């Protein structure tokens, strides 16, 4: 997780929300979660200094999966993408509206993946499932790849 926080900061993510999914490993109690959040915020600040980013990425308190997918954006409508290893038809290359999106929210699953039931809840709340291709990537690799591709395709890596 430390690596993901560091790289998401470097790549320009604005907010990072850790969440508990059905297949998440290592559930944290409230005290552990607070300490982790503080650590991750420090890592984000260090990454900002290293890459000369003026605004740090916000590391939010951990949320449940349901709370994450049902939350409304305060910034208005955004494209909501959930990367899922069982998606076969839609990828970023053929996703309509990505280049014109005013903002993009991304969800990636834990090492065990996102359950079909969780996907159905997300879809019911406007999330679009997307594939990263045929390879099954480790969670940290998938996060870096997905964010990089979205940033590139939306013109935010220029």
Sort strands 104-107 and 79-83 into parallel, antiparallel or unpaired: parallel
Q: How many CA atoms lie within 13 A of 142 on its CB side?
A: 22
Question: What mean pLDDT is predicted for residues 14-41?
Answer: 86
Query: 142 is written with which tokens?
Result: 């998938």
Residue 21 pLDDT exceeds 90: no
**Alpha carbon 120 to chain centroid, angstroms:** 18
The pLDDT score that the predictor gives to residue 94 is 85
- For residues 150 and 106, is the Cβ–Cβ distance under 8 A? yes
- For residues 154 and 104, is the Cβ–Cβ distance under 8 A? yes
Residue 158 pLDDT exceeds 70: no
3-state secondary structure of 56: coil
Instruction: Tell me the domains of the chain and their CATH numbers.
Output: 2-153 (3.40.1280.10)
Query: 47 is written with which tokens?
Result: 């990454």
User: pLDDT by residue (tens digit) across 73-113?
Assistant: 766 668 999 999 999 999 998 898 887 888 899 999 888 88
Nearest to 105 by CA among 126, 128, 79, 131: 79
Give the Å distances, CA to CA, from 80 to 2, 3, 43, 56, 99. 24, 23, 26, 22, 13
The pLDDT score that the predictor gives to residue 76 is 63
Phi/psi at 53 (5° precision): -85, 125
The answer to whether the predicted template modeling score (pTM) of the entire model surpasses 0.85 is yes
Average pLDDT score over the chain? 90
- For residues 16 and 58, is the Cβ–Cβ distance under 8 A? yes
Question: What mean pLDDT is predicted for residues 115-134?
Answer: 95
Query: 30 is written with which tokens?
Result: 């409230």
Residue 140 pLDDT exceeds 90: yes
User: pLDDT by residue (tens digit) across 38-78?
Assistant: 999 999 999 999 999 988 899 999 899 999 999 877 666 68
């Amino acid at each position: 997780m430390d690596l993901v926080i560091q790289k998401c900061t470097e790549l320009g993510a604005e907010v990072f929300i850790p969440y508990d999914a059905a297949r998440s490993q290592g559930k944290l109690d409230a005290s552990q979660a607070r300490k982790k959040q503080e650590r991750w915020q420090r890592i984000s600040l260090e990454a900002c200094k290293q890459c000369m980013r003026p605004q740090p990425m916000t590391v939010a308190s951990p949320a449940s999966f349901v709370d994450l997918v049902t939350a409304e954006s305060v910034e208005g409508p955004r494209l909501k993408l959930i990367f899922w290893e069982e998606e076969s038809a839609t990828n970023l290359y053929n996703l309509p509206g990505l280049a014109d999106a005013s903002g993009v929210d991304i969800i990636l699953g834990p090492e065990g993946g996102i359950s079909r039931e969780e996907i159905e809840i997300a879809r019911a709340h406007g999330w679009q499932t997307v594939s990263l291709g045929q390879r099954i990537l480790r969670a940290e690799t998938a996060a870096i790849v997905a964010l990089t591709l979205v940033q590139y395709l939306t013109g935010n890596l220029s």
